[in-house]
Structure 1
Amino acid sequence: MNRKTFYAALRRRSSGVFGTSISQRQVRGVDGILDAFATHGDGRAKTLAYALATAYHETARRMVPVRETLARDDATARRRLRKAKYAQPEPPYGHCYYGRGQVQLTWKRNYERSSEDAGVDLVRHPDKALDPIIGARILIRGLLDGRWNGKGRGIAHYLPTSGRDDLRNARRTVNITDKWDLIAGYYRAFLRAIEEAGGVPKPRFEPVPVSWSKPKPEGAQCSQTGSVTKQPERTNPVSPTSGGGVWVALSRFIASIFGGKL
């Protein structure tokens, strides 16, 4: 891929994504996804385009890993989340497994399932999902194997190399069909830029070492109300109306009944 050509395509006013300018932080985020795709991707332009589109949506266009925030002014929503045991301290470390990263990874079991791809025990160190490289690996590998849609159908099932794209159901690889039409537009924009830049680099699958440690309980990292306590921020949090937050959390909880990403 010619990245200069790629970014030039994205900067066009008519690109459908960034428009006339891209910040240095956004470039770092995109570069991280491109680099992770070279080692953990499948070599398909459609997969890379959908990964970039997903990150564009889930991070509110920041493209770097972000952490989810819960709406403090919606008491009803907070009560529902507490009942669902979402964003509550969990053993053995007392961490809260709310949305983190470019894909907004949620729930403890998904942190555990993504640890091998990340190369680190995410149950013990959930904030590692905020690392640009680790977050991008989680995003790409999760799209490929369909671990979040309840049926084990990866992105290639919905976006085949040869055949018509099913962009509505492609969103099920992340979060049921929430905002699928918006993300479809982003996908087309990124796909055009990738094709103009000469396509994607060939994948270089590499083993990812994982070091597991014996559980050692730690102090709770969340408040008793279910809201995330103040912690040092590596990036700006996602607002509840921009790709993350309480309503997405609720939709994921409801999706568990039907096989969505939780």
Structure 2
Amino acid sequence: MNRAAFYAALRRRTSGVFGTSISQQQVTGIEGILDAFITHGDGRDKTLAYALATAYHETGARMVPVREGFAKDDATARRIVAKRAYGQPAGKYGHVYYGRGQVQLTWLPNYDKSSTDAKYDLVAYPDKMLDPVISARVLIKGLLDGRWNGKGNGIAFYLPTSGPDDLKNARRTVNITDKWGMIGGYYKAFLAAIKEAGGVPVAAPLPTPKPEQPVKPLVEAEKPQVRAGSLSGLLAKLLQALAALFKRK
């Protein structure tokens, strides 16, 4: 993916998402999702586009992990969701499992199911969903396996590689069909930008190690040479010393 072209497409006034500018915070959030997709995605442009569209909607276009209601802290978020079914303390830790992250993960069982992907106990530490690396990974893995729609149908079931997109039911991978039309529009905008940028990002290939150079044997010309002249001179000096010794005797 040509990321410069990708952001240029998103900044276009007619893009359908950001308009003419993207903040550093938004870029940071998008980059986290792109990087997570390289390691945890399925290589499909439709999956990446829907992940970005979901984050755009669920975070109010911020693109970074947020608490439900865009609350600044846990206490405020608890007050916001107090009247919701999932807004009461649950489980052995007494946490409230309200929406967190780029996908607004809710309910204790969903935090439990996503702990494996997070490589962290989200039941004990639900605020870890505010970590951008964990949040992006959970977003992508959840879309892929359909864990949130009750049927186990992942995003590829609704947005097949070949065939028409079922955007209404694609929203079931996150939250029934809530605002599906709006999110479908974001999806199309991100998909167009991905295509314009040359497709989904892929991991850069590791550099090919250079073979070790074999030790070159010395050729005859490179071998150290003892000059005949220096050897004969040394022998002459030795003989002179011996002759002088015998004369003294």
**TM-score band (shorter)?**
0.7 to 0.9
The CA RMSD over aligned residues, in Å, is 1.9
Structure 1 unaligned runs (5+)?
205-262
Distance (Å, rounded) in 2 between the aligned partners of 1:88 and 1:175: 20
1:36-185 aligned within 5 A: 36-69=36-69, 78-79=82-83, 81=84, 84=85, 86-185=86-185
2:91, 2:108 within 8 Å by CA — same for their partners in 1? Answer: no
Task: Provide Cα deviations, 1:61-84, integer angstroms capped at 9, x if missing partner.
Answer: 000000013999xx9x954x2xx3
Write the distance in 2 (CA, Å) between the matches of 1:203 and 1:95: 37
Structure 2 unaligned blocks of 5 or more: 205-249
Q: Quote how far apart the aligned CAs of 1:99 are.
A: 0.3
Residue of structure 2 equivalent to 1:20: 20
Counterpart Cα distance in 1 of 2:57 and 2:180: 10
TM-score (norm 2): 0.76
SS at match of 2:104: coil
Larger radius of gyration: 2
Partner Cα separation in structure 1 for residue 91 and residue 47 of structure 2: 35
CA distance in 2 between partners of 1:26 and 1:131 (Å)? 15
Q: Any runs of at least 4 consecutive aligned residues in structure 1 with deviations exceeding 6 A, and if so which?
A: none
Matched-pair identity in %: 74
TM-score using structure 1 length: 0.72
Q: Which amino acid aligns with 1:61?
A: A
| Secondary structure of 1:69's aligned partner | helix
Greater RCO, 1 or 2 (C-alpha within 8 Å, sep 6+):
1
The answer to whether the 8 Å contact 1:43/1:203 transfers is: no
CA displacement at 1:52 relative to structure 2 = 0.2
Distance 1:203 1:121, change over 3 A: farther
Letter in 2 for 1:19: G
1:119 Cα shift? Answer: 1.0
Aligned residues: 197
